[in-house]
Structure 1
Amino acid sequence: MYDIITGIQQVGIGVSDAHEAKLLYKQLFGMDVLIFDDKAPASLMTQYTGSEIHERRAILSLNMSGGGGFEIWQFLSRTPSKIASTPTLGDLGIFAVKIKSSNIKKAYDYFSQLVSVNVSELFDSPDDRQHFWLTDPYGNCFNIVEGDEWFKQNNTICGGVVGAVIGVSNMDKALHFYQEVLGIKEIIYSGTAPMIDVPHNQNKGQVFKRVLLKKSFANKGAFSKLLGSVQIELIEIKDSEPKKIYANRYWGDCGFIHLCFDVLHMDKLKTLSQQCGYPFTVDSANSFSMGNSAGRFCYVEDPDGTLIELVETHKVPIYKKLGLYLDITKRKQDKPLPNWMINLLALSKVK
């Protein structure tokens, strides 16, 4: 049942300049493989965009070391809204994205010397693993953590997305959703205490209930070898009232707009989610094209309204100039692609 989710495909990041952002994230996080760059109307997302169809540009880029990618998303028909004030740890929604590194100290030294980002201290997490926080030029927060497995060991500073830090209002309800619906079952740590290992712009010593969930690499699904395991850290603040990070803004406005999981059997997941009390809010039903990529995409909200995207991949471009693509529908859905075939994705580069 819990191999319906095979990994994190990408995190959506709303920006005001997609071209600038794709180059920034190539420099910072090695997101240098281009899966698609697509301009089109977001016709199925109107309930999250003021009941209007808005034009958008979406760019999906990956780091071939392993992990999920970034879907860089820019409104073309309106000026994207920026958040009025810096989110506070514990605010409801995606507070930070977890990026994995094979050498935390090396990554810390590298990012600390960059003038374009702000870096926290180097901390030990509750499970005694080193990590640190990084804030990019747009104000987006990233949590750099130790990575356990890799598709490629190519001496890069870091890999791709391994998870997210998500603010919740009720831990029990949040755990029910992330464990029972998404199948991220394993608890790495859980407890309530003053939190010291915080980003540079956050106050130390606030009391949080904090749970780190993990779904280990299962080797099922076409891209499971590339995507790897999943870590979701849920944060519930205990000594103040959290705010919604996306209050009074549209999906697609600046910041982390969704967390996207790669799905094997969408119909099974839809039934399970409905039975657990979380009906899908968006369902493309059939294959939906994004550039030369295609798949069925759906959305579901966690108990606090955080948007979770779910994608059942049907087609992925390998080399756009030659019209080469992988048709996932013509193979056994659970079977991982061979490494050489996944490596073909790297033929298209972010430029």
Structure 2
Amino acid sequence: MLKSEEKLIYGIQQIGIGVKNADEAFKWYATRLGADALIFDDNNEATYMAKYMGGKPRNKRALLGLNMQGGGGYEIWQYLDREPVAPKKKFQLGDLGINFPCIKTRNISATFNRLKTLNENILSEICTEINGSKSFYVQDPYENILKIKEFNSWYANNKLDVGGISGAVIGVSNIANALPLYSSILGYDKVVYDKTGVFKDLASFKNGNKKFRRILLTHSKKRVGGFCELFGDSEIELIEAIDTKPNTIFEDRYWGDLGYIHLCFDIRNMKKLSEECKEMGFPFQVISSESFDMGDANGHWGYIEDCDGTLIEFIETHKVPLIKKLGININLKNRAPKKPLPNWMIKAMSLKRVKKFN
């Protein structure tokens, strides 16, 4: 049984992406990055997040796409009652907020060549990072930058060269101030590197020849329970601009506007987590009712802000539908919290893969 004083983080569930056309964006992430398992398609009115949407509820559509080889997914989010707003200033590396997600690949040359053949907007050649891993950058059709990076944590192999999200690069104003949230609350307690300087792997960015401090974090303890095997290991890189003044990516814009709107973790024991966040100076800004519907799925969720206002979401998943017509669901609410879901149950989620697009 889960001790009352214990909270669990199962892994990165998804990154939220504000778009103008959810169907079009889902198709791109499904066909280019393999995130074709449609976990939910939610048209519920967004009410709880009113404080981040101009003070009132908004009509929206949200689709969650997962790559069943493992890793986090993409919550494709679209306003239905207003035109989403683009950033006022051109992105520069180190801006405050989610700079880009990291997408794992088992064969970086194959991924690079496949996306190049598809005429996608590749922003850099394959480069070697501080810790020796290789990566490159690509831009989706909606001006969001993604880092494709070698990674060795996989759930399955369906012969596609890419998996899901294995981490994120987040711009912060002061790494020392940001660390308590990311290293303690989120459990990224192991430092892979902590370097300050000018970096060759950032050369493709307009301000990539400037000085930055970069700290790459991972978790020393293996995640346990729930969907931990599917989500897999993950990393967070915090980047602090030294030579330039960073902009705030979502300054004077709403949550759900264009770009990366939040980073979401799948968790257990929301009550304990909220107490811990408050105690460490990161109180919940929004929290849902105890079991809130997300399309055909449901769960308990809430948001905090990091030191620079970047939104971190937590979801305590209660139910994921497998075959809606037959009423077959994955129910996590009464399961032993440290016991991973069996493989057959996770693999059954492949039934939700979308194989044909208009």
CA distance in 2 between counterparts of 1:126 and 1:328 reads: 39
Contact 1:104 1:146 in 2 (8 A): yes
Which deviates the most, 216-225 or 146-155? 216-225
Give the partner amino acid of 1:203: N
Give the counterpart of 2:136 among 127, 132, 151. Answer: 132
For residues 69-114 of structure 1, give each alpha carbon's deviation from its aligned partner in whole angstroms, at most 9, with x where no partner exists.
Answer: 1100000011111123431000000010100011112112212223
Alignment pair present for 1:276 and 2:274:
no
Contact 1:281 1:299 in 2 (8 A): yes
**Distance 1:199-1:20 versus aligned 2 partners, 3 A rule:** farther
Which deviates the most, 132-141 or 216-225? 216-225
Q: For residue 97 of structure 1, give the secondary structure of its aligned residue in structure 2.
A: strand
TM-score of the pair, normalised by structure 2? 0.95
Alignment pair present for 1:294 and 2:298:
yes
Q: For residue 330 of structure 1, give the secondary structure of its aligned residue in structure 2.
A: coil
For residues 171-209 of structure 1, give each alpha carbon's deviation from its aligned partner in whole angstroms, at most 9, with x where no partner exists.
Answer: 101111101221111111111011221274433321000
Alignment pair present for 1:341 and 2:318:
no
Which runs of 5 or more structure 1 residues have no equivalent in the other structure?
none
Determine the structure 2 residue equivalent to 1:174: 178
Contact 1:86 1:139 in 2 (8 A): no
Determine the structure 2 residue equivalent to 1:245: 249
Determine the structure 1 residue equivalent to 2:334: 330
CA distance in 2 between counterparts of 1:28 and 1:274 reads: 40
CA distance in 1 between counterparts of 2:7 and 2:124 reads: 35
For residues 127-155 of structure 1, give each alpha carbon's deviation from its aligned partner in whole angstroms, at most 9, with x where no partner exists.
Answer: 01111111111110111111112110121
Determine the structure 2 residue equivalent to 1:185: 189
Give the counterpart of 1:210 among 187, 209, 214. Answer: 214
For residues 16-38 of structure 1, give each alpha carbon's deviation from its aligned partner in whole angstroms, at most 9, with x where no partner exists.
Answer: 00010110111110011010111
TM-score of the pair, normalised by structure 1? 0.97
Q: For residue 159 of structure 1, give the secondary structure of its aligned residue in structure 2.
A: strand
Determine the structure 2 residue equivalent to 1:197: 201
Contact 2:93 2:205 in 1 (8 A): no
Task: Indicate the RMSD between aligned Cα atoms, in angstroms.
Answer: 1.5
Determine the structure 2 residue equivalent to 1:48: 52
Contact 1:112 1:119 in 2 (8 A): no
Determine the structure 2 residue equivalent to 1:118: 122
Alignment pair present for 1:261 and 2:258:
no
Deviation at 1:248, TM superposition (A): 0.8
Give the counterpart of 1:76 among 61, 75, 80. Answer: 80
The alignment covers a number of residue pairs equal to 351
Give the partner amino acid of 1:77: D
Deviation at 1:118, TM superposition (A): 2.5
**Distance 1:3-1:224 versus aligned 2 partners, 3 A rule:** farther
Determine the structure 2 residue equivalent to 1:13: 17
Contact 2:302 2:314 in 1 (8 A): yes
Pairing 1:223-238 to 2, within 5 Å after superposition: 223-238=227-242
CA distance in 1 between counterparts of 2:44 and 2:279 reads: 34
Which runs of 5 or more structure 2 residues have no equivalent in the other structure?
none
Deviation at 1:267, TM superposition (A): 1.3
Which deviates the most, 254-263 or 325-334? 325-334
Determine the structure 1 residue equivalent to 2:157: 153
Q: Percent identity, aligned pairs only?
A: 44
Deviation at 1:157, TM superposition (A): 1.9
Give the partner amino acid of 1:156: L
Determine the structure 2 residue equivalent to 1:321: 325
Deviation at 1:167, TM superposition (A): 0.3
Deviation at 1:319, TM superposition (A): 1.7
